[in-house]
Amino acid sequence: MNAIECRGLAKRYRRSWALRDCGLAIPEGHVVALVGPNGAGKTTLLNLAAGLLRPTAGDITVLGGQRPGSGAARVGIGFVSQDAPLYGHLPARVMLAMAGNLNITWDHDRALARLADLRVPLDRKVHALSGGQRAQLALTLALGKRPRLLILDEPLASLDPLARHEFMASLMAEVAEQGLSVVFSSHVVAELERIADYLVILNNGQLQLAGGVEDLLAVHRILTGPGNGSPIDAEPVAVIHARQAGAQAHLLVRNSAPGAPAPEGWRSDPASLEDLVLGYLRDPGVRMLPGPAMAASAGGPEVTP
């Protein structure tokens, strides 16, 4: 079953397209890293999945075919946005009570216990909490619903490094305990690398790359060799991004034969998730989409995983 599925999905704001022809199927049970530059369409996609927006064209379903915004989808989705709608003049305890009144399913004891474990003072007003405590409160309000799918849109943007670490640690504890599907949008790839097992890259409003992290890393690598040479003739590879550093060239490549030896005169190193993300984002015209053949940019080479 898919946590989120899109077919020809598009969203336009007046004359500007935030998303165009997005086809995507994210299987349930994954922690998904959703990455892309500002304006790539990440927030639009997440708001569509949460039922806060309607598409201009195409179709999107969640939780195995539910329409976003429907009763079943609202019950099954927890959503935390970058600017979480917390009422600053209310104590945290009152925010929990409000959430209990607004949600059909609500585990009040679990929410109280979670904030107690995190030492978030329940009787302190929201505006008097630290940034990390406010983020934990917003996450608790989403988790208290016992959702099947948790959508997080840049929840760490305003947090210091320690608060970010504590947020991620508590999130992964919840994932392990509840078996959640999570879609996590962030600009900090190093944080996502520790938790994500599925990657989605959006660029210029279009899907650029999607797949399991292990599968994607298995068919990508970094080749380092002479700056005036190219390994393309020696091996069936698609060059995703090339960078010149003095007399050497550094190439992020996708190869058709995982584990194949490097071309003569070249060194092959495993690609990290950060290598993968930055390489694709630097060349937005390159797209490698799921399917029997993974095609690069229009007219480019096809690489079969």
Nearest to 188 by CA among 170, 163, 210, 224: 163
CB atoms within 10 A of CB 268: 19
> Among 181, 212, 243, which residue terminates a domain?
212
Average pLDDT, the chain: 85
Whether residue 170 sits in one domain with residue 63: yes
Give the model's confidence band at 148: pLDDT under 50 very low, under 70 low, under 90 confident, else very high.
very high
In this prediction the pTM is 0.87
Whether residue 278 sits in one domain with residue 139: no
Whether residue 234 sits in one domain with residue 112: no
Whether residue 127 sits in one domain with residue 229: no
Please tell me the total count of domains within the chain. Answer: 2
pLDDT of residue 293: 34
pLDDT of residue 257: 63
Give the model's confidence band at 292: pLDDT under 50 very low, under 70 low, under 90 confident, else very high.
very low
Whether residue 42 sits in one domain with residue 25: yes
Q: What percent of the chain has a predicted confidence (pLDDT) above 90?
A: 53
Token pair listed for 19: 């998303």
- Which residues are registered as beta bridge partners of 34? 185, 200
Q: Give the pLDDT confidence of 164-221 residue by residue, as tens digits.
A: 888 888 889 888 888 899 999 988 787 788 889 999 999 999 999 999 999 999 889 9
Whether residue 175 sits in one domain with residue 89: yes
* DSSP state string for 128-181: GS-HHHHHHHHHHHHHTT--SEEEEESTTTT--HHHHHHHHHHHHHHHHHH--E
Beta strands in 227-277 (DSSP E): 237-245, 248-255, 267-270
As a whole number, mean pLDDT of residues 150-157 equals: 88
Whether residue 123 sits in one domain with residue 271: no
> 3-state DSSP call for residue 194?
helix
Whether residue 239 sits in one domain with residue 187: no
The rounded distance, in Å, linking the Cα atoms of 41 and 66 is 22
Whether residue 116 sits in one domain with residue 93: yes
Nearest to 268 by CA among 258, 276, 277, 278: 258
Give the model's confidence band at 239: pLDDT under 50 very low, under 70 low, under 90 confident, else very high.
confident
Whether residue 267 sits in one domain with residue 122: no
CATH of the domain at 194: 3.40.50.300
> Among 159, 191, 212, which residue terminates a domain?
212
Q: Is the pLDDT of residue 64 over 60?
A: yes
Q: Please, what is the angle between helix 108-117 and helix 92-102, to 10°?
A: 150
Q: Please indicate whether residue 228 or residue 268 has the higher confidence score (pLDDT).
A: 268
pLDDT of residue 300: 35
**Containing domain of residue 68, as a range?**
2-212
Whether residue 234 sits in one domain with residue 129: no
